[in-house]
Structure 1
């Protein structure tokens, strides 16, 4: 999507152009997540237990490409462990209406060329939804280039992809 322009040539703060989405359910009797007319839960008809590993979020990425716009709110229907039925609409577009990339990289740590390129081709982000018993949490993750390796001595680690919590609600 070259040439996306959201009204400014200034690359700071970082803005995103497109987003991808993923949802996971844990500790529920049943769980259905529909976003962009697509079912994102593997537990629509069956229980979901606890995560298999405590560090599961470290490698969590979104695989469903949504594009530049925002579809209607995500429809989340689930039954928590206590048997209570829950229904929620989570408006991803409203949460990200500013199109800001949430990250932990200071501007002075970002290479100037990468920053300038972001003004022309905004960075894509992952929007990640976790349903865990009675709580929905929205995270985001984006690759932001860095001037120095994040793993000392590893030139392939010139960026960070931090998981940032954007919103949470317990029902």
Structure 2
């Protein structure tokens, strides 16, 4: 895992209020980030000063289909503790057909409302529970850039009554897509 903190940076901002499920709609002040490339050549994603992806121009990234049903679950945000929002993510890559592409993805504009994207009805959300920072995932897949959010949303009741540890949902919700 990585963090946005560097040896020269100041201590994390501890003045931010804790986000709880008592506040509705659910909002976030910080986030985690992950960048992934599929069916690309030399894919580079730079966000908050950190590189993600595969920058080897002579190596093709695996296709998302090669991971089968595990494909969406394998995308996790390992870059932690990012205040909303640094400069846009800068993306350069060659598509499967090796055509060159460049994009600047402004996550601050995509999430300007500060809302956590999730698929849980308010009546099902556990009350007064603190929330972790949501994950923002940027995926480059051949000619398409997708941006997703995943947040662990605590539930009043377990999804599976036989499993008391199933008292949350963490759906991967696509919030942006553009094909180049």
If the length of structure 2 is used for normalisation, what is the TM-score? 0.83
Distance 1:125 1:111, change over 3 A: same
Equivalent pair of 2:147/2:177 in contact (CA under 8 Å): yes
> More deviation in 44-53 or 103-112?
44-53
Matched, 1:98 2:113: yes
Deviations 1:98-157 (A, max 9, x none): 11000011111112222xx4xxxx541100011011000000000000011112311111
Match of 1:13 among 4, 25, 28: 25
Partner of 1:136: 145
Question: Shift of residue 82 of structure 1?
Answer: 1.5
In 1: Cα distance, 2:50 partner to 2:149 partner: 19
In 2: Cα distance, 1:44 partner to 1:22 partner: 18
> More deviation in 136-145 or 67-76?
67-76
In 1: Cα distance, 2:159 partner to 2:105 partner: 34
Distance 1:80 1:100, change over 3 A: same
Count of aligned positions = 162
In 2: Cα distance, 1:102 partner to 1:69 partner: 15
Equivalent pair of 1:18/1:123 in contact (CA under 8 Å): no
Distance 1:96 1:35, change over 3 A: same
Question: Shift of residue 44 of structure 1?
Answer: 3.8
Equivalent pair of 1:138/1:168 in contact (CA under 8 Å): yes
Matched, 1:87 2:102: yes
In 1: Cα distance, 2:67 partner to 2:135 partner: 21
Once superposed, which parts of structure 1, at least 4 consecutive aligned residues long, lie more than 3 Å away?
none
SS of 1:108's equivalent in the other structure is: helix
Structure 1: runs of 5+ lacking an equivalent: none
The two structures, once aligned, show a CA RMSD in angstroms of: 1.9
